[in-house]
Amino acid sequence: MDNFMKLSIKAVSANEAFARSAVAAFCVDADPTVDELGDVKTAVSEAVTNSIVHGYAGRDDGVVEIEVARSGNTVHIEVKDCGVGIADIAQARTPFYTTKPDEERSGMGFTVMESFMDALEVVRNEPQGVIVRMRKQFAASKKRAE
């Protein structure tokens, strides 16, 4: 592992953009393309938003923990909460599934995360909550090749 970071944020919507930006800033050292950085930002945004909206469902005492590790041009990201959890993870990973059908939501975003990242794992955070693990390998940059 070349580098790592840990970030704990209060589970409020205002912190979603901060989390996305902090992870993106951390990844810059691996020299990702603009598109690759956008992929990471979108995936982190989806995972953090899930924790806030679905995991804590408006509670004001929730915390979202984000850990990022970099090895070479690969980043491993973990977004963890201690919210209500997901009863059926397989069902939650289907497109457009949501725990908030009365709200204007297009699902929990696992399909989006999976499309932008090289690997996605969603597991229970015992005794309660969810852990989303993602991996992204950035293309070799021209700077490193020289």
DSSP string over 84-133? S--S-HHHHTSTT--S-TTSS----SHHHHHHHSSEEEEEE-TTSSEEEE
Closest listed residue to residue 66, CA positions, set 124, 1, 134: 134
Which one of the listed residues 15, 105, 114, 125 is annotated catalytic?
105
d(CA 93, CA 108): 7
In the block, tokens 């090895």 appear at: 71
**CA distances from residue 5 to 16, 24, 41, 42 in whole angstroms, order as listed:** 17, 12, 16, 19
Among 16, 20, 36, 50, the one annotated catalytic? 50
Is 46 annotated in the active site? Answer: yes
Active site residues: 46, 50, 105
